[in-house]
Amino acid sequence: MTDFVWLSANEFGFKLLEQVLALQDPEINIRGVITLRPDARTVMYDGVPPDDWNRFGIEVAFIDRIEKDGAEVLRAWAPDHVVMAGWRQIVPAEVLDIPRRGFVSFHPTKLPYGRGPAPLINQILAGVEDSAMSLMYTDDGVDSGDLIGQGPFQIGPDDHAEDVYAKIVAQGVALGIKHLPQLARGNAPRLAQSSDDAVVFPKPSRANWIDLGESLQSTYARIRALSRPYRGAHLEDGLGFRLVVWRARPTLTPRGTLIQPGVGFEAHRDRPQDLYFSDGTEHLQVVEGEIKSK
């Protein structure tokens, strides 16, 4: 029997654990779950209420930092593997070395393309169409570990982040169900990534801010990329109100009020869907939005 520790604080990791437990594989023992404390400083946009992890009847450790209190828990539990499925903190090399057979982790790009931060956001902003959920042996590089498997998915031209996230979760669960039993038996695949083909994403800067001077295509990509579970792309009217756009769609026949400098948002608080963007030729209708006072 192989002892696994679950390191997760998000919806994907929760759903994956649920399905792995349902396998009732005699070679898989989930020794415990490490997740974030309710007052932890790390923000999880797709987080799970901490108490929900207690539903599984497995020991749960609530921590603030993986390299501090998390490392203490791992040393005490002494697992064979750690499954990192939805964790935003960097895990230093000395912590990666604690489990006897190492960490494995997931990354939602077709590695070696798309290493680095904000992979879902960056892929939509970059116009990526063919992607994959990747499962790898975690090393101390940037998403550079040897691959165990990949589950492909498509990013459609009108997919918003929440649509892509659902595909990521589905492929991640399928990968886990397929490969964790192999890890438990010591016969999981191992394929080195090609460093020559590696592309590392930058950390997005002010990605949430809609700039009326950018192209309409860029605005649409920004809205799609920052929709739920993220904080939403937004802009301000200069009159004390902010429009957060959760969903939009291209249209040939826009309705309502054109968003342009000097147009106030307060009058549209009850119907933000009556606002639209336009470059004079193409138009983008707000489908779901929220107007807030600053």
Domains with residue ranges and CATH for the chain: 2-200 (3.40.50.170), 216-293 (3.10.25.10)
Tell me the three-class secondary structure of the chain, residue by residue. Answer: CEEEEEECCEHHHHHHHHHHHHHCCCCEEEEEEEEECCCCCCCCCCECCHHHHHHHCCCEEEECCHHHHHHHHHHHHCCCEEEECCCCCCCCHHHHCCCCCCEEEEECCCCCEEECCCHHHHHHHHCCCEEEEEEEECCCCCCCCCEEEEEEEECCCCCCHHHHHHHHHHHHHHHHHHHHHHHHHCCCCCECCCHHHCEECCCCCCCCECCCCCCHHHHHHHHHHCCCCCCCEEEECCCCEEEEEEEEEEECCCCCEECCCCCCCHHHCCCHHHEEEECCCCEEEEEEEEEEEC
Residues 9 and 86 sit within 8 Å (Cβ to Cβ) = yes
204 or 17, which is more confident: 17
Tens digits of residue pLDDT in 177-201: 999 999 999 999 999 999 999 999 9
Whether 275 shows a pLDDT value over 90: the answer reads yes
Ramachandran category for residue 271: left, alpha or beta (phi over 0 → left; psi -120 to 50 → alpha)? beta
- pLDDT confidence of 206, banded at 50, 70, 90? confident
Can you tell me the distance from the alpha carbon of 31 to that of 5, in angstroms, rounded to the nearest whole number?
A: 5
User: What is the distance between the alpha carbons of residues 283 and 90, in angstroms, rounded to a whole number?
Assistant: 41
Average pLDDT across the chain, whole number: 97
Provide mean pLDDT across the span 250-254.
96
- Residue 294's pLDDT band (boundaries 50, 70, 90)? confident
> If you average pLDDT over residues 76-102, what whole number do you get?
98
**What pTM value is reported for the model?**
0.95
pLDDT for 103: 98
Asked whether residue 250 carries a pLDDT value surpassing 90, the answer given is yes
Contact 190, 136 (CB under 8 A): no
Task: Give the span between the Cα atoms of 175 and 106, in whole angstroms.
Answer: 9
Mean pLDDT, residues 140-155 taken together: 98
**Alpha-carbon gap, residue 4 to 184, rounded angstroms:** 9
* Mean pLDDT of all residues in 128-155: 98
The torsion angles phi and psi of 264, rounded to 5 degrees, stand at -85, 150
Query: What is the band of 109 on the pLDDT scale with cuts at 50, 70, 90?
Result: very high
User: For strand 275-278 and strand 233-236, is the pairing parallel, antiparallel, or unpaired?
Assistant: unpaired
Give the model's pLDDT for residue 198: 98
Q: What is the mean pLDDT of residues 237-248?
A: 96
Is residue 229 a contact partner of residue 245, using CB atoms and an 8 Å limit?
no
pLDDT in tens, 51-78: 999 999 999 999 999 999 999 999 999 9
Please state, in angstroms and rounded to a whole number, the distance separating the CA atoms of residues 251 and 285.
6
Task: Quote the pLDDT of residue 205.
Answer: 86
